[in-house]
Structure 1
Amino acid sequence: MKLPFEIKDIRDFSYITSRKLKNDKGEKRGEVFIWRRRGEEEFNCKLKCPYCEEEQEFSVVFNRRPYRVRCSNCGKSILVEKLAAK
């Protein structure tokens, strides 16, 4: 999945992440890229759904973690898990 913009300075963002997403069978078929610029309340998301493989972009306000995004095509709720300490 291609990033929606060119990142010039990481310090312009208060949150930025990219994750691979698994479907119910455990196959990595999707991806999510979430970012929020400093001073903004809304998060921007670019999602490739691991279930229907539809690509979409949207904005959302997350109230608490763990973050969940919903596919507008198939309606599945997708958990964006915290990165595990390794």
Structure 2
Amino acid sequence: MHMLQATRDFRKVSLWLGHATLQSTEIYLRADPTEKLEMLDALAPLGIKPGKFRPPDKLIAMHTIVQCYVESMDVEKPDNTPISVSGSA
């Protein structure tokens, strides 16, 4: 609905959503937004506690092993520059 309000062009919305026909888009545009909100409010929360993700020790250990293994390999890119493990190229 927001896309339609922003563009005022039914065809653009259909293209952006990747619909093969305009009839596919009509289903979504005819839906009542208040009905959608009521349905979402009726859903039970997922029970996810807010907070920071803390990876388990097994995951950290595996990452450390893989990182050490990759660093021990003498791997180069096709342009003969070393591959950086830290994420920078």
TM-score by length of 2: 0.20
More strand by share: 1
TM-score by length of 1: 0.20
The structure showing larger relative contact order (alpha-carbon pairs under 8 Å, at least 6 residues apart) is: 1
More helix by share: 2
> Is the radius of gyration larger for structure 1 or structure 2?
2
